[in-house]
């Protein structure tokens, strides 16, 4: 499609493709601005549920106006093809930022911003249900934006998922998601806790080579304290992560206000040395999938066997984002699915 004109959008380049969607960088020739156009992938079998989820994604994102949520400009159609028009973010995914290296101050700033974006979504009755680094964009100025509301739950809207269906990305799933229970705001808090741990400890809290072992760890095991990995991380940080990753929902932060407030308090008290501490550092071969990521790619069939149900979509952490670059194609942006 590169070089084509779709309505008043001139396609400049394909910026990525994932399990369900493909995203192009385009120029809005009327308003003279760059946008991102998201189409259902040609690899996705056209069916009513896929189209309904695509519409729900546009509605969820379009109903939010927050600096830490990627703006959806609209939903349009051209020659029978529906597409979402989004703001184009010049930057990269958090997944790529983690691989290239993060300082502790940067990591806390990103966690605070995503917490604010999620809080705005929750206030509108929207649960993201797939918070992970691939679904977070970080601009060149350091602004973090939450993307991909493709499996979001929106209050007062018809359900698109049958009760008991397993949804999300295995590595970042909360215990209640693995038990096929309904999600609530504390489910997103768990996922943000996993992202926070990954950014600051430089590894996942639950990293197993086998999907069964990974699921067992999420359900039953406590992760290693971050301060045991990096002594620069304080006991206060350990306590924040422990509360965000409490197995029982009633033991977690009940609202994002509490988590964001604790993160802001910790951020204010960082010493210059702590702020500049390289908690996530580049490693040779870091682009290779982690053990947990590899396990997640195998989880589809296993989850189906465990619950006797078909999981709704592949749980691969690197391809389920609406705006997450494929790692093989370096670019100025990571805005893709």
Q: Which residue has the higher pLDDT, 292 or 301?
A: 292
Whether residues 79 and 104 share a domain: the answer is no
The total of other beta-carbon atoms located within 10 Å of residue 205's CB is 24
Residue pair 26/6 in contact (Cβ under 8 Å)? The answer is: yes
Whether residues 219 and 105 share a domain: the answer is yes
Which CATH number does the domain housing residue 176 bear? 1.10.510.10
Residue pair 243/266 in contact (Cβ under 8 Å)? The answer is: no
Whether residues 138 and 169 share a domain: the answer is yes
Q: Is 63 a domain residue?
A: yes
Which CATH number does the domain housing residue 14 bear? 3.30.200.20
When pLDDT is averaged across residues 211-234 and rounded to a whole number, the result is 94
Out of 37, 71, 87, a domain closes at 87
pLDDT score at 176: 95
What is the chain's length? 337
Which position among 28, 47, 130, 262 bears the catalytic label? 130
Q: What total of structural domains would you count in the chain?
A: 2
Buried b (16+ CB within 10 A) or exposed e, 124-142: eebbbbbbbbbbbbbeeee
Does residue 322 have a pLDDT over 90? no
Out of 57, 72, 87, a domain closes at 87
Q: Is 315 a domain residue?
A: no
Residue pair 289/318 in contact (Cβ under 8 Å)? The answer is: yes
When pLDDT is averaged across residues 309-333 and rounded to a whole number, the result is 38
What residues contact 289, with CB distance under 8 A and at least 6 apart? 297, 318
Q: Give 85's pLDDT tier (boundaries 50, 70, 90).
A: very high
When pLDDT is averaged across residues 280-300 and rounded to a whole number, the result is 46
Residue pair 19/12 in contact (Cβ under 8 Å)? The answer is: no
Determine what percent of the chain is predicted with pLDDT higher than 70: 76
Out of 87, 108, 142, a domain closes at 87
When pLDDT is averaged across residues 174-193 and rounded to a whole number, the result is 94
pLDDT score at 260: 98
pLDDT score at 281: 65
CA–CA dist 88, 271 (Å, integer): 35
Whether residues 98 and 174 share a domain: the answer is yes
Whether residues 107 and 46 share a domain: the answer is no
pLDDT score at 43: 64
First to last CA, the chain: 16
pLDDT score at 118: 96
CA–CA dist 15, 4 (Å, integer): 15
Whether residues 252 and 285 share a domain: the answer is yes
| 62 CA to centre of own chain | 17
When pLDDT is averaged across residues 317-332 and rounded to a whole number, the result is 37
Whether residues 134 and 22 share a domain: the answer is no
Q: Is 314 a domain residue?
A: no
Q: Give 60's pLDDT tier (boundaries 50, 70, 90).
A: confident
Mean pLDDT computed over every residue of the chain: 81
Whether residues 105 and 139 share a domain: the answer is yes
pLDDT score at 164: 45
Whether residues 46 and 123 share a domain: the answer is no
Give the C-alpha distances (Å, rounded to integers) separating 271 from 259, 267, 274.
21, 9, 5
When pLDDT is averaged across residues 183-206 and rounded to a whole number, the result is 96
pLDDT score at 19: 64
β-sheet bridge partners, residue 17: 22
What residues contact 330, with CB distance under 8 A and at least 6 apart? none
What residues contact 136, with CB distance under 8 A and at least 6 apart? 93, 94, 95, 110, 114, 144, 145, 146, 147, 195
Does residue 290 have a pLDDT over 60? no
Whether residues 34 and 179 share a domain: the answer is no
Q: Which residue has the higher pLDDT, 163 or 144?
A: 144
Q: Is 317 a domain residue?
A: no
Whether residues 83 and 221 share a domain: the answer is no
pLDDT score at 52: 76
| 222 CA to centre of own chain | 23
pLDDT score at 57: 78
pLDDT score at 313: 40
Q: Is 68 a domain residue?
A: yes
Active site residue 130: yes
Pairing mode, strands 9-17 and 136-139: unpaired
Q: Which residue has the higher pLDDT, 113 or 61?
A: 113
Q: What are phi and psi of 309, to 5 degrees?
A: -135, 165
β-sheet bridge partners, residue 87: 35
Whether residues 96 and 37 share a domain: the answer is no
Q: Is 318 a domain residue?
A: no
When pLDDT is averaged across residues 14-42 and rounded to a whole number, the result is 87
Question: Could you tell me the residue range of the domain that residue 155 belongs to?
Answer: 91-307
Q: Exposed/middle/buried for 324, CB within 10 Å: 0-12, 13-18, 19+?
A: buried
Q: Which residue has the higher pLDDT, 209 or 333?
A: 209
Q: Which residue has the higher pLDDT, 229 or 285?
A: 229
What is the per-residue DSSP string for 239-291? HHHHHHT-SSGGGS-SSHHHHHHHHHHHHHT--HHHHT-EEE---TTTTSPPH
Residue pair 178/166 in contact (Cβ under 8 Å)? The answer is: yes
Q: Is 246 a domain residue?
A: yes
pLDDT score at 166: 52
Q: Is 16 a domain residue?
A: yes
Residue 215's SS3 state is helix
pLDDT score at 217: 96
pLDDT score at 185: 95
CA–CA dist 107, 201 (Å, integer): 10
Q: What are phi and psi of 35, to 5 degrees?
A: -135, 170
Q: What does the DSSP 8-state code read for residue 10?
A: E
Helices 256-268 and 235-244 meet at what angle, rounded to 10? 170
């Amino acid at each position: 499609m590169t070089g084509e004109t779709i309505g008043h959008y001139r396609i400049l380049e394909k910026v990525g493709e994932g399990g369900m969607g493909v995203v192009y960088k385009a120029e809005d020739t009327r308003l003279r601005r760059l946008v991102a156009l998201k189409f259902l992938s040609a690899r996705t079998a056209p069916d009513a549920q896929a189209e309904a989820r695509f519409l729900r994604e546009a509605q969820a994102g379009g109903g939010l106006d927050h600096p830490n949520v990627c703006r959806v400009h609209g939903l349009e159609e051209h020659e029978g093809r529906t597409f979402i028009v989004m703001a184009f973010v010049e930057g990269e995914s958090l997944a790529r930022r983690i691989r290239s290296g993060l300082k502790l101050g940067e990591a806390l700033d990103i966690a605070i911003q995503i917490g604010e974006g999620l809080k705005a979504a929750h206030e509108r009755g929207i649960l993201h249900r797939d918070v992970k680094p691939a679904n977070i964009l970080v601009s060149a100025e350091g602004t973090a934006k939450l993307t991909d509301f493709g499996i979001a739950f929106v209050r007062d809207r018809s359900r698109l998922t049958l009760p008991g269906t397993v949804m999300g990305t295995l590595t970042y799933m909360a215990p209640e998601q693995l038990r096929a229970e309904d999600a609530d705001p504390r489910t997103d808090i768990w996922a943000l806790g996993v992202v926070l741990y990954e950014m600051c400890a430089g590894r996942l809290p639950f990293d197993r080579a086998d999907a069964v072992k990974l699921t067992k760890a999420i359900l039953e095991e406590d992760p290693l304290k971050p301060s045991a990995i990096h002594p620069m991380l304080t006991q206060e940080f350990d306590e924040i992560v422990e509360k965000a990753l409490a197995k029982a929902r009633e033991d977690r932060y009940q609202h994002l206000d509490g988590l964001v407030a604790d993160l802001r308090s910790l951020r204010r008290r960082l010493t210059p040395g702590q702020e500049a501490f390289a908690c996530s550092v580049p490693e040779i071969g870091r682009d290779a999938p982690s053990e947990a990521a590899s396990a997640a790619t195998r989880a589809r069939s296993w989850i189906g066997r465990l619950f006797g149900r078909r999981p709704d979509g592949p749980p691969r952490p690197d391809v389920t984002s609406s705006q997450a670059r494929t790692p093989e194609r370096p670019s100025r942006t990571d805005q893709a699915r």
